[in-house]
Amino acid sequence: MKRLWVILPLLFILSCEEEQDNQPTPDSTSEKTFYKKSDVGTDVIQLTSKPSHDRIFYQEPNYFSPDNSKFLFYSRDTDDKGEIEKAGIYLLDLNTGNITLLKNRPFGFMPTWSKDGKEVYVGENSKILAINIKTLEERTINIPTDSTDFSWIVSLHLNPSGDRLLFVESGQETHKALSTIKTDGSDYRKLFIADQETVFVLGHPIFVDDNTILFLTRGENRNSRGDFNKPYLITLDGKLTRIPVTCSHYDVNPKGDKILCGQDGYIIDLEGNKLKEFPEIHGHGVWAPDGDVFLLTGDPVPVPKESQYFGKIVIMKFSSDEIYSLVSHENTYDSSIEVHVQPNAQFSRDGKHIIYESDRNQMQNIDLYLVEVPE
């Protein structure tokens, strides 16, 4: 996929060193440019600018590299009917702004970084590819399967120790199993199997710690009503428990002891006890690395349009009642008319920046933006 060749002044440089040796040739020069000031006066940088959809894969796992120098994103072009013409997983160098294609038209969705930042894990047909970001060479992790058990490997996530991958095995229309394998290809386990009678989709799997996984089930046609919004905890030895409260969009605290249920307006412990509530604003939420600060993206329902938080990326704290609007994400974001571009905002691993996506209320293309978080 070709990108626009636009040469722009370098307006933003992260504090980490740029790696020069054996780098693959980028597919485009920098598309970075200053966009605006945030609500608190920090800089907002536009990172991509080509006429296609540049998306964040969702809010977990973290798509910043471990050293915060690079960012993974998904880009696709569509035709007049909305059908995908081109698609790929791209690597954005946050120092230079250069963009490199890692994988063209991947089968899998939602890649993840290796713990040392040298590889990116990408799902494929019945296998996981570990792509070296310097050379683009691919190492294969085969998923044990028989000839009739066709699987796309999606929703990859790495455990905190960095030696085990979590993923969903997906058929063409429904999910089949929640599985895990070590990064060296050993110790493959199917932890939960979708029965195709009550459970058809497995959503948002994420490690709580090295031994425990949080995930949701969905019914037929991705039914997410009622009990389908109460997530499960499962251990590597298969012990399954259910959290008895609704938590439809979540993020696990870095300490592994709390869950941010942003869409539902509260924070819970692993037993489902409510630890903090914020009824004035609901939205997709993400923890900062310090485990105290978190962000919310103000949804149109139930946040009214006249609210000061509507359409904002809002910063809050678990330890206090502090709340402020960081930036307007400017998205076409009205679920009542089925127009929905989610900011999918997430913190850098040092908590100093946030990257989010926006269509600037135009529904033409989606680009990525970086905003500095005040200290």
Mean pLDDT is lowest, of 124-138, 166-180, 232-246, 316-330, for 166-180
> Which tens digit of pLDDT belongs to each residue from 297-352?
987 665 666 678 888 999 999 999 999 999 999 988 776 666 778 899 999 999 99
Arithmetic mean of pLDDT, 131-154: 85
pLDDT of 79 reads 52
Our CA angle for 361, 363, 368, nearest 5°, is 75
Which residues of 280-351 form beta strands (DSSP E)? 283-287, 293-298, 312-317, 323-328, 333-334, 339-340, 346-347
pLDDT of 21 reads 47
Mean pLDDT is lowest, of 106-115, 129-138, 360-369, for 106-115
More confident call, 140 vs 364: 140
pLDDT of 11 reads 29
Our CA angle for 187, 117, 237, nearest 5°, is 25
pTM for the model stands at 0.88
pLDDT of 146 reads 61
Dist CA 80 CA 314 (whole Å): 35
CATH fold for domain 106-248: Methylamine Dehydrogenase; Chain H (2.130.10)
Arithmetic mean of pLDDT, 167-173: 86
Composition of the chain by helix, strand, coil, percent to 5: 5, 45, 55
The answer to whether residue 20 scores a pLDDT higher than 50 is no
Arithmetic mean of pLDDT, 244-248: 93
Tally of CB atoms within 10 A around 339: 14
Distance of CA 154 to the CA centre of its chain: 12
DSSP conformation class of 279:
T
Q: Is residue 47 within 8 Å of 30, Cβ to Cβ?
A: no
Tokens representing 323 are 């709340």
Q: Which residues of 275-311 are buried (b: 16+ CB within 10 A; e: fewer)?
A: ebebeebbbbbbbbeebbbbbbbbbbeebeeeeebbb
Mean of pLDDT over the chain: 86
Dist CA 329 CA 360 (whole Å): 7
Phi, psi of 197, deg, nearest 5: -115, -45
| Residue ranges matching CATH 2.130.10.10 in the chain | 106-248
The answer to whether residue 173 scores a pLDDT higher than 90 is no
The answer to whether residue 64 scores a pLDDT higher than 80 is yes
More confident call, 105 vs 247: 247
Q: If pLDDT is split at 50, 70 and 90, which confidence band does 94 have?
A: very high
Sign of the Cα torsion 172, 177, 183, 186 reads negative
Distance of CA 269 to the CA centre of its chain: 22
Q: Is residue 269 within 8 Å of 253, Cβ to Cβ?
A: no
